[in-house]
Amino acid sequence: MGTCHEDLHYRTHVRRTLLLALLLVVACSPSEETAAGSTTLETAVPITTASPTTAPSPTSTTAPPPTTEPPTTVPPTTVPPTTALPTSPPPPTAPEGLTVEVVAEAPAVVTAMAPTSDGVVLAMQTGEVGFLADREITTQATIPVSTGGERGLLGVAIHPDDAERWFFYYTNPEDGGTVVSEFAAPGGVINPESEEVLFTVAQPAANHNGGMIQFGPDGMLYAGVGDGGGGGDQFGNGQNTDTPLGGILRLDVDGEDIAPGDNPGFGAPELWLYGLRNPWRFDWSGDRLVIADVGQSAYEEITVVGIDDGGGNLGWPTMEGTHCYENPGCDSIGILPVHEIEHGDNGTCSITGGVTYEGDAIAGLAGHFLYSDFCGGYLRSITVDGNEVETYQWIEESLGSVVTFGEDEDGEVLISADGSLLRVVASN
């Protein structure tokens, strides 16, 4: 990841062990794996919130370098994105404030969620497949996975046309490679013996495993895969289109070939976007894909692309955010992020995206992409209208080590932090 910090505080020794393992999801390289600081959510009552304010703007100040991989930092570029951003109507006046309420305590760290008509399927890092309904979590089955660090059961998605087809992204217990598989779930209960492996790729290191999967508006399954791990793209995958590593994949789970024929045509046929470091979480909202990519040592970034932007380059490792990473004074390349957060901004070290709010319970929040940070634990959002980006800070104090976001069956936002599932609600 970028820089990591110290002094984790978790509620129990067991939860500390799980979250210390998942800390590496924030993308520390093997030489960077130290604990990241956070503040535990100590009560089950709503958190006091701050009124929405514009989040601090990124600056060109060099962030404190990590102990092993000092970055090369130059002032931010002013080159606009190479493609026009998808446009949506500006959101209405936002609510006065947001807070969270505790929904349930999970038996293991929840890394991904997928809503159904009557609850939420949960993927837990240790391999358990859970189901959240009526504020209670039940465990349906366990998928064998390699655990520890950034490995484990990392992603879940449900087929948009068949609620009994569930898809999971996990790391193979034999060699730590990435696996995307389909399971049958008759009656909404997974059959662990029904696995059909759809895609695999070897991983040269234990970090930067990505793990997000989600169906897009075109019915294809999109998967985020990190650059192979280590630090500074040491395996040279970010700008290499002959490997699926360091990109977002587009998979056809209904066709004869897992790589759709209308993919960009790279050497790695599944590859749809490249130049990413560790796209830990992303979210489709209509024809817009909002990607939260974990930075190296100075900047976290959010990029917006459209359904027609397949083949795009997001710049890593030439760029870290809007800044040159490999070489000072480089020529800016690729689709630049619409927003970046500098390390040290309220504890920022590793971005955790993120969902675009599409629920009905919070008036004025529609169109906001909500995100957090594994170390900072705050709650912020951005709205994007063409090239106009607005930023909001909703909760400044830490919710804990925020691992992932999801939605419940009503489209309301859920957050996994410190072993708890939290629901975002209006505080006014």
What is residue 262's DSSP assignment? Answer: T
13-426: CATH number = 2.120.10.30
Which of 223, 365, 367 shows the shortest CA–CA distance to 288? Answer: 367
Chain centroid offset of residue 78 CA: 26
What is residue 169's DSSP assignment? Answer: E
Which tokens hold the place of 272?
A: 């749809």
Give the three-state DSSP class for 382: strand
pLDDT (0 to 100) of residue 95? 82
**In the chain, what are the domain boundaries?**
13-426
Distance CA(278)–CA(211), nearest Å, equals 9
pLDDT (0 to 100) of residue 307? 97
Distance CA(162)–CA(145), nearest Å, equals 25
Residues ≥6 apart with Cβ < 8 Å to 341: 55, 58, 299, 300, 301, 348, 351, 373
pLDDT (0 to 100) of residue 20? 38
pLDDT (0 to 100) of residue 386? 83
CB 290 within 8 A of CB 283: yes
**Number of Cβ atoms within 10 Å of the Cβ of 66:** 23
The residue behind tokens 């109507």 is: 89
The residue behind tokens 């390289």 is: 29
pLDDT (0 to 100) of residue 75? 31
- Angle at the Cα of 351 (from 350 to 354), degrees rounded to 5? 155
Per-position pLDDT tens, the chain of length 428: 433 333 333 333 334 334 434 443 444 433 333 333 333 332 233 333 333 333 333 333 233 333 333 333 323 333 334 444 555 555 556 788 999 999 999 999 999 999 999 999 999 999 999 999 999 999 999 999 999 889 999 999 999 999 999 999 999 999 999 999 999 999 999 999 999 999 999 999 999 999 999 999 999 999 999 999 999 999 999 999 999 999 999 999 999 999 999 999 999 999 999 999 999 999 999 999 999 999 999 999 999 999 999 999 999 999 999 999 989 899 999 999 999 999 999 999 999 999 999 999 999 999 999 999 999 999 999 999 988 999 999 999 999 999 999 999 999 999 999 999 999 999 97
**Number of Cβ atoms within 10 Å of the Cβ of 107:** 17
User: Alpha helices, DSSP H only, in 289-365?
Assistant: none
pLDDT (0 to 100) of residue 155? 98
The amino acid occupying position 281 is R
- Angle at the Cα of 366 (from 363 to 367), degrees rounded to 5? 160
DSSP states of 186-234: GGG---TT--EEEEEE--SSSS-----EEE-TTSPEEEEE---SSSSST
Distance CA(91)–CA(24), nearest Å, equals 35
pLDDT (0 to 100) of residue 88? 53
Which tokens hold the place of 85?
A: 């951003």
Distance CA(155)–CA(214), nearest Å, equals 8
Radius of gyration of the chain (CA): 19
- Angle at the Cα of 394 (from 124 to 373), degrees rounded to 5? 40
Nearest-10 Cα torsion for 285, 286, 288, 289: 50
DSSP states of 90-139: PP-PPPS-EEEEEEEE-SS-EEEEEE-SSSEEEEETTSEEEEEETTEEEE
Which tokens hold the place of 303?
A: 């990029």
